[in-house]
Amino acid sequence: MNAGTNRLWQVGKPNDDIHGGMALVRGHFERGEGAVPAVGEGQVLVRAEYFSPDAMNHAWVRGMPGKFDPLAPGTTMRGGVAGTIIASLNPDWPEGTRVTGFLDWADYSLSDGTDHMGVPLQRIPDGVASASGLVTLGMSGVCAWLGLAHFTRPRPGDTVLVSGASGGIGSIAGQLVPLFGARPVGIAGGAEKCAAALANGFDAMVDYKAHDLPGQIAKACPQGVDLFFDNVGGPLLDAALVNMSHYGQVLICGGTAHYGVKPEPIYNHIHMAMRSLTMRGFFYFDHVDLWDGARQRLAHWLRDGRIREWLDVEEGFEAVPDAALAGFHGGVKGRKLIRIA
C-alpha cells in the first residue's frame, strides 16, 4: 500500500444472496480504494490495527429494524475497529491515543470523536493490548459483564448455562460466572471446542452438534438451569427451556442461529409459564452509561489474569470477507479478529 492510499471494504450488491436477505454473503464485500482522508476541524484520523467481525456487520448491511436502514451499496463497510489516532484537530483526542469504536472498515477512518453509532470513541488504557481493547474491554466483555451483573445477577450455587461458549461473549461470560459463586456450563459445537471451553473455565460442556441436546443439558445441569445466558437462540433455546429451574431466568443476548437461515420455531415456550420463568433481553448500545464501569472492572480482571482471552486472529486486509462470514457458519475458535496493520 502506498502512503496516500486508503484500502477499504465497501458494501457490494451480491449475486450470491442464497439466504434471501437473512445473512451476510461473500458478494456483500467489495474491495475498494480511496485517498487517505484529510482531517477537518474537530476531527481525528484513526489508523486501523484490528477489525472485529461480528453481528453488527450483518446489521449494517441488512439494516436493523427500528434502529437504522441498510447501508447503500458502494458505502464503506462499518465494523468494530481498534487503532491509533495519527492526526488530530480535536483537543480531546490527541495524536497517539489508542481507541476503539465502530468505524469504517478501511486503513484510515475519520471521526469527530464519536463512531458510527454516535457513541464516543473508547480509549484503550495503557498496558492493555489493542486486541483486548476490542474484545474484553469491547462489546464482548461488556455484554458478558452487563448480562450477568446488571440484567440477571446469578446467586451463589446457581447453575448458569451459556450458549455460544466458544465465542467472544460466551467465553468471557463463562469466566465471570464464578465471581457470583455460580457454576458455568457451556454449549459449543464439537468435541474440540468443548474441550477448549472446559480448559477456558467452564465447569461442564454440552455439544450441540451431538445427539440429544435436552438430555445432555439435563446431565450437565442436574439441579436445573437457573440462568440461561443465550447467545444463539433457535434449537438451543428450545432445549434449554425444558431444563430450566422453577423461577429461572432466560437472558437473550444474541440469536446467531437465526442470522444465516430462516428462524426455527420455538416449541417449548409453555415452560415459561409452567416454571414461572423470566425472559429479558438487552441491547449493548442502549446502555452506554454502564460501559465505563464495566470496562474498569474488566481491565482489572484482564490485568490480574482472571480473564484469559480466547482469540482467533486472521492476518491481513484481504482476509476480511472470509473472517467476517466465518462467524455465521461456526468457523470461529474464540473471538475472531483481523489484524490489519
Residues lying near ligand NAP in the complex (CB under 6 A) are found at 54-55, 139-140, 143, 164, 166-170, 188-189, 193, 208, 231-232, 236, 253-257, 282-284, 327, 330, 332, 335
Smallest gap from Cβ 166 to ligand NAP, in A, equals 4
Q: Which residues of 280-295 are buried (b: 16+ CB within 10 A; e: fewer)?
A: eebebeeeeebbeebb
Nearer to ligand NAP among residue 79 and residue 164 (C-beta): 164
Nearer to ligand NAP among residue 129 and residue 237 (C-beta): 237
Smallest gap from Cβ 304 to ligand NAP, in A, equals 23
Q: Identify the CA nearest to 60 among candidates 42, 39, 46, 78.
A: 78
Q: Identify the CA nearest to 128 among candidates 336, 300, 310.
A: 300
Nearer to ligand NAP among residue 31 and residue 280 (C-beta): 280
Smallest gap from Cβ 136 to ligand NAP, in A, equals 12
User: Please, which residues have CB within 8 angstroms of residue 269's CB and are 6 or more apart in sequence?
Assistant: 241
Smallest gap from Cβ 340 to ligand NAP, in A, equals 19
- Amino acid in the structure at residue 224: G
Smallest gap from Cβ 255 to ligand NAP, in A, equals 5
Nearer to ligand NAP among residue 169 and residue 185 (C-beta): 169
Nearer to ligand NAP among residue 287 and residue 297 (C-beta): 287
User: How many helices (H) and strands (E) are present in the chain, helices listed first?
Assistant: 11, 15
Smallest gap from Cβ 54 to ligand NAP, in A, equals 5
Residue 213, Cβ density class (10 Å: 0-12 exposed, 13-18 middle, ≥19 buried): buried
The three grid cell numbers given for residue 16, joined into one nine-digit string:
450470491
3-state secondary structure at position 145: helix
- DSSP H/E element including 250: strand 244-252
Please provide the DSSP assignment of 20-56 as one string: TTSS--GGGEEEEEEEPPPP-TT-EEEEEEEEE--HH
Smallest gap from Cβ 236 to ligand NAP, in A, equals 6
Nearer to ligand NAP among residue 93 and residue 208 (C-beta): 208
Nearer to ligand NAP among residue 46 and residue 257 (C-beta): 257
Smallest gap from Cβ 146 to ligand NAP, in A, equals 9
> Whole-angstrom Cα distance, residue 207 to residue 215?
11
Smallest gap from Cβ 235 to ligand NAP, in A, equals 8
Nearer to ligand NAP among residue 9 and residue 284 (C-beta): 284
**Which parts of 253-334 are beta strand (E)?**
278-281, 311-315
User: Please, which residues have CB within 8 angstroms of residue 64's CB and are 6 or more apart in sequence?
Assistant: none
- DSSP H/E element including 193: helix 191-199
Nearer to ligand NAP among residue 45 and residue 170 (C-beta): 170
